Structure 1
Amino acid sequence: MHRSAALLEDLSLETTARDAATLVARAADVPVGTRVSITHLSTESAAERREAAAAAGRVRLVPVPHLAARRVASEAELRATLEGLRAHHAQERLFLVGGDPRVAAGPYGSALDVVTSGLLPAAGVIEVGIAGYPAGHPAIGDAFLGAALRDKAAAIADQGLAGTITTQFSFDAEAVAQWIERVRETGIDLPIRVGVPGPAGVRRLVAFARRCGVATSAGIARKYGFSLASLAGTAGPDRFVADLAGRLEAAHGDVRLHLFTFGTLDAAIDWAVRARRCSVPRIVENGH
């Protein structure tokens, strides 16, 4: 199997509750068992996220609801959230983030606090996803990020849970491969899903990159396949995926892709269908 094809195997998607209807409508184009992350947006309610997760499950996809620790106001709310997901058969896999608020609404200041609460196994959670930042974080130093990743990986194992790491998206395949190497050197062997943006307008990509603190220098943008001098047109992850695949070796461990949709779920699914059929290198070379 070509390395690009291996990366595309078990590709996961990230979407929002409001895109649940589109996901259901396009379910025939998404392989059974595909993981679908449902983001924790402040503009969507817990009920909407639960229903989106349930909808994914009904079309034989695997829901992965996000939970933002600093948005949880109390232990009672965390218990209720987990119980609500369980009632919708969507509790087995969670993705935990600290969340945007600078000040925690309750006792959970980080994803680690939720893991060490001890509530997850009893609620039927079997796997916890955590975030990785190959390009760093605009508000958190690299040393702290590295220590936090190790602490969360250890705590997940201590709770008897499986773990995965999903990275923030990046435009620099070389930097991502090097980051994975550093993670493996610390002894973390969790599967890693590398975040990539689905096809989107260049202006939209740059806006999301700035919002997330992702580097977009002229050189990096050019390697990815767009120019900062002109924000017209669209860009997809073809070149990035082929570049990353060429850099991965056995020492990088279990590495897959996670497709951020940025409000363009239809386009992301279309890209995934085409990429699986043609293989990424062929798409890049022939311009399909």
Structure 2
Amino acid sequence: MTESASTSKMHAQGPTGLLDGFSLEMTGRDIPELERAAPLIPAGTQINVTFLATENLDLRVAAARAVLSAGAVPVPHIAARRISSAEELDCTLAALQEAGAAQRVFVVGGDPSRPMGAYSSSRDVIESDLLAKHHVQQVSIAGYPEGHPDIDRDTLWRELEAKSALLKKQGLRGEIITQFGFDEKPIIEWVHEVRERGISTPIRIGVPGPAGVKRLVGFARRFGISANASIVKKYGFSLGNLMGTAGPDRLISALERDIDSRQLGEVRLHFYTFGGVETTAKWISSFRG
């Protein structure tokens, strides 16, 4: 074992326990991978099911059922600006409820610059009475440590504060899942600011699972994530060589070192499975030793 790997494992078992209760992400097309990865995924692990424009409700519900069959907990995404009407949202939640997968959802704005229907933001969905109607108990919302390419920082903070307060008022358990990044510095600063603003909502820090460097850089550019030469070198790969693969060893070790749950409350990790659910599950199992 290399010194780097040994250090990574030492931090992974550190006092903050960021890897305890980690969560994963999958698409509807990842069901075969999930089935292969199931033996490596601890029972009760949250697995987010994305809301892609190329996948329909039946596929999302099938993915949620597969998560349940794997002994995990499905967290379906609800993309506000992709919902055409209150009727569609009602039908979506009803289908998830029938599958036993509506207790926890992740409500996001979604990619379209213009809403396809009545919901222009995640707050619009949360303010509706449909989550309560379908017995949703936990709602995850998005956080952006490095900002959002289309939303100014003041608005991001205002919305995060408002949604966290709204969930608490409605008696719903809230959770913040952040966009992924390569650099621990803005992530750690952002977590501290969340707590300084009086937001006690549990946080899941988004990290990219192991994947091809070219793929990671492509996703970073798409989502406005900093990926300049110095940052990616710090993370563990080079922009001059896009043919290899990279994992979040260094990033997780740095986060474990600098985030203290005794001061910052509940903070865990959420893995974006850019390299595949099975590959990510194997990597986590190996990293945890």
Does residue 139 of the first structure (1) align with residue 139 of the second (2)?
no
Match of 1:190 among 191, 196, 201: 201
Hey, what does 2:12 align to over in structure 1?
A: 4
Whether the 8 Å contact between 2:147 and 2:153 is mirrored in structure 1 is: yes
Match of 1:25 among 7, 13, 36: 36
Does residue 58 of the first structure (1) align with residue 69 of the second (2)?
yes
Higher RCO (Cα < 8 Å, 6 or more apart): 2
Hey, what does 1:109 align to over in structure 2?
A: 120
Match of 1:163 among 160, 163, 174: 174
Hey, what does 2:102 align to over in structure 1?
A: 91
Aligned-partner Cα distance in 1 for 2:11–2:133: 38
How far residue 126 of structure 1 moved from its aligned partner, in angstroms, is 0.1
Cα separation, partners in 2 of 1:3 and 1:119, compared to 1, 3 Å: farther
Does residue 45 of the first structure (1) align with residue 59 of the second (2)?
no
The aligned length equals 277
How far residue 121 of structure 1 moved from its aligned partner, in angstroms, is 1.6
Whether the 8 Å contact between 2:83 and 2:89 is mirrored in structure 1 is: yes
Match of 1:255 among 262, 267, 282: 267
How far residue 119 of structure 1 moved from its aligned partner, in angstroms, is 1.5
1:85-113, Cα deviation, whole Å (9 max, x unpaired):
00100000000100011111111110000
Whether the 8 Å contact between 2:209 and 2:275 is mirrored in structure 1 is: no
Does residue 173 of the first structure (1) align with residue 181 of the second (2)?
no
Which amino acid in structure 2 is aligned with residue 4 of structure 1? Answer: A
Hey, what does 1:233 align to over in structure 2?
A: 244
Q: Which runs of 5+ in 2 are unaligned?
A: 1-8
Secondary structure in 2 matching 1:266: helix
Hey, what does 2:283 align to over in structure 1?
A: 271
Which amino acid in structure 2 is aligned with residue 52 of structure 1? Answer: A
1:50-95, Cα deviation, whole Å (9 max, x unpaired):
1100111122100000010011111111111110000100000000
Cα separation, partners in 2 of 1:2 and 1:155, compared to 1, 3 Å: farther
Which amino acid in structure 1 is aligned with residue 270 of structure 2? Answer: H
Aligned sequence identity (%) = 47
Aligned-partner Cα distance in 1 for 2:255–2:137: 30
Hey, what does 1:201 align to over in structure 2?
A: 212
Q: Which runs of 5+ in 1 are unaligned?
A: 278-288
Hey, what does 1:78 align to over in structure 2?
A: 89
Aligned-partner Cα distance in 2 for 1:35–1:243: 23
Aligned-partner Cα distance in 2 for 1:184–1:239: 24
Whether the 8 Å contact between 1:195 and 1:257 is mirrored in structure 2 is: yes
Aligned-partner Cα distance in 2 for 1:2–1:120: 41
Aligned-partner Cα distance in 2 for 1:56–1:219: 38
Secondary structure in 2 matching 1:262: coil
How far residue 25 of structure 1 moved from its aligned partner, in angstroms, is 2.3
Secondary structure in 1 matching 2:207: strand
Secondary structure in 2 matching 1:65: strand
1:215-252, Cα deviation, whole Å (9 max, x unpaired):
00111111110111221211100000001111112222
Whether the 8 Å contact between 1:70 and 1:109 is mirrored in structure 2 is: yes
Runs of 4 or more off by more than 6 Å in structure 1?
none
How far residue 4 of structure 1 moved from its aligned partner, in angstroms, is 2.6
Whether the 8 Å contact between 2:210 and 2:275 is mirrored in structure 1 is: no
CA RMSD for the aligned pairs?
Answer: 1.3
How far residue 183 of structure 1 moved from its aligned partner, in angstroms, is 0.6
Hey, what does 1:282 align to over in structure 2?
A: none
How far residue 165 of structure 1 moved from its aligned partner, in angstroms, is 0.4
Aligned-partner Cα distance in 1 for 2:70–2:279: 19
Secondary structure in 2 matching 1:137: coil
Which amino acid in structure 2 is aligned with residue 266 of structure 1? Answer: E
How far residue 263 of structure 1 moved from its aligned partner, in angstroms, is 4.7
